[in-house]
Structure 1
Amino acid sequence: MLLRLPTSVSEAQRYLAQKAVPVGGATLVWATWQRDGFPDQALSLRHVPEANELGRNALGAAVVLHQIDDRVPLVLHWAAASVGTGAVRRAATVGGNLVGSALRCLLPAALVLDARATVLEADRVHEADLGEVVAKRPLLLGLRWREPIASAYRKLPQEAGGRPPFVVAAALHATHGGPDRLRVAVRDGLEVLSGSVARDTDTETVLHDLRRTAIGELPPQSWEVVGEQVTALLNGRTDRPRSHP
């Protein structure tokens, strides 16, 4: 297998046109390749500048999870910090997690940031919503979003090898001329649900409105976790992540 390491978007597109297979951090594809056979060419974006952005409003697809720190909003920082083991976080990339992983641990955080994806194809670079990224699994170049007022993340503990842990992410966004907007996303098993409502001075009203979105389909125990997280966020208690009930 020939590993291609382009240093520009145009060079990466040339290798894509030659049918090079994206490799990401190789934490997910390596076992499959060992079983089914290696491709003739693989493609890593680790040396492409646009795929290595890391800041308050952008995150590149080639960024390794352990590099994600407080330069990004808290919800994304905490989501990355909760993925797997330290060894996994030192190898796994943003693109591999969002596109290659069935768990998509970063997806709830990206959804509440209302992030837009930049997608790389052999003949163009274009913007896509996260639904398209999940459905079509393209080569992700990076994410961009508008910085929220505040955000929060919680991942419940779970027995190893069992059902994926329940995750809730939330972010509060300013709007132009209207009330702030609350975005909430959960991962329940392998399903990701999200909802968005206007902020109200009364937390109970916010939760009532949120129940009318897809989030309201959750069972009572999970909804209780969402309610606690939303209440904490709206009351400014987001100083550290919660990893236990």
Structure 2
Amino acid sequence: MLVRLPTSVSEARECLAEGAVPVGGATLVWATWQHEGFPELAVSLRELPEANVLGRETVGGAVVLRRIDGRVPDVLRLAAASVGTGAVRRTATVGGNLVGSTLRCLLPAALVLDARATVLEPDGVRETDLAELVAKRPVLLSLRWRTPLTCAYRKLPGAVGGPPPLVVASALHAEGDGNGPLLRIAVRHGYDVLGAAVSYGTGTGTVTGTDETLHALRSTDLAGLPAAAWAVVDSQIAALTPEAMD
């Protein structure tokens, strides 16, 4: 297998046009390739500057999880720190986790940050949302978001050999539209990741307390979550809502 290491976006596009298979840290595909055969040509973005950014409101698709630190919001930092073992985090990448993994450990955090994805295709670079990123699995160059007012993350212990552990992520955003802050919640339950958002404030159509917020969320896609998930959601809302920050 020949692995190309492009140093420019144009060179990376050429690799994709030639049929190169994208590969990050190869933590997910290596065993499959050993069993089914290796591709003739692969491409890694580890030398591409645009895929290695790491800052307050951005992270590149080629950034390994171990590099994600206090420069990003806690919800994303804690999500990255919870993935696998230290050895896995030294090689697994943001793009591999979001696009190549069925677990998508970073997805709840990215959803509550309302992140947008910049993706690379043979015919160019474009921006898209997380729903398309997960569904179509293009090559991820980077994620961008706006810094939330505050955020939280919790991953419950999972049984060995059982379903993926329950994950709850949340973030409170200043929307600036007169309707008060916007509370975003995302939950990984099994292999499904569900998200919801409610306005929290004093404007028309908003909710103004923890109980009202929970009631509003129970009318969203989160309605069918088990009691264990709602217990975590409840505790995060109590910690994140404006009253708790006063």
TM-score of the pair, normalised by structure 1: 0.94
2:134 is matched with which residue?
A: 134
> Does the aligned pair in 2 maintain the 1:216–1:223 contact within 8 Å?
no
Residue 89 of structure 1, CA deviation: 0.4
Residue 35 of structure 1, CA deviation: 0.7
Select 2:209's aligned residue among 186, 202, 206: 202
Q: Provide the rounded CA distance (Å) in 1 between the counterparts of 2:11 and 2:185.
A: 38
Q: Provide the rounded CA distance (Å) in 2 between the counterparts of 1:219 and 1:162.
A: 16
Q: Provide the rounded CA distance (Å) in 1 between the counterparts of 2:130 and 2:167.
A: 18
Q: Provide the rounded CA distance (Å) in 2 between the counterparts of 1:51 and 1:236.
A: 35
Residue 220 of structure 1, CA deviation: 2.2
Q: Provide the rounded CA distance (Å) in 2 between the counterparts of 1:33 and 1:210.
A: 43
* Of 193-202 and 114-123, the range deviating more from structure 2: 193-202
Alignment root-mean-square deviation, CA: 1.1
1:186 is matched with which residue?
A: 187
Q: How does 1:1-245 map to 2 (within 5 A)?
A: 1-178=1-178, 179-200=180-201, 201-234=208-241, 235-236=244-245
Q: Which runs of 5+ in 1 are unaligned?
A: 238-245
Give secondary structure in 2 for the equivalent of 1:217: coil
Give secondary structure in 1 for the equivalent of 2:105: coil
* Of 65-74 and 218-227, the range deviating more from structure 2: 218-227
TM-score of the pair, normalised by structure 2: 0.94
> Does the aligned pair in 1 maintain the 2:168–2:229 contact within 8 Å?
no
Aligned partner of 1:211: which letter? R
Aligned partner of 2:186: which letter? A
Aligned length: 237
Q: Provide the rounded CA distance (Å) in 2 between the counterparts of 1:124 and 1:169.
A: 32
Aligned partner of 1:210: which letter? L
What fraction of aligned residue pairs are identical, expressed as a percent?
Answer: 65
Residue 177 of structure 1, CA deviation: 3.0
> Does the aligned pair in 1 maintain the 2:20–2:41 contact within 8 Å?
yes
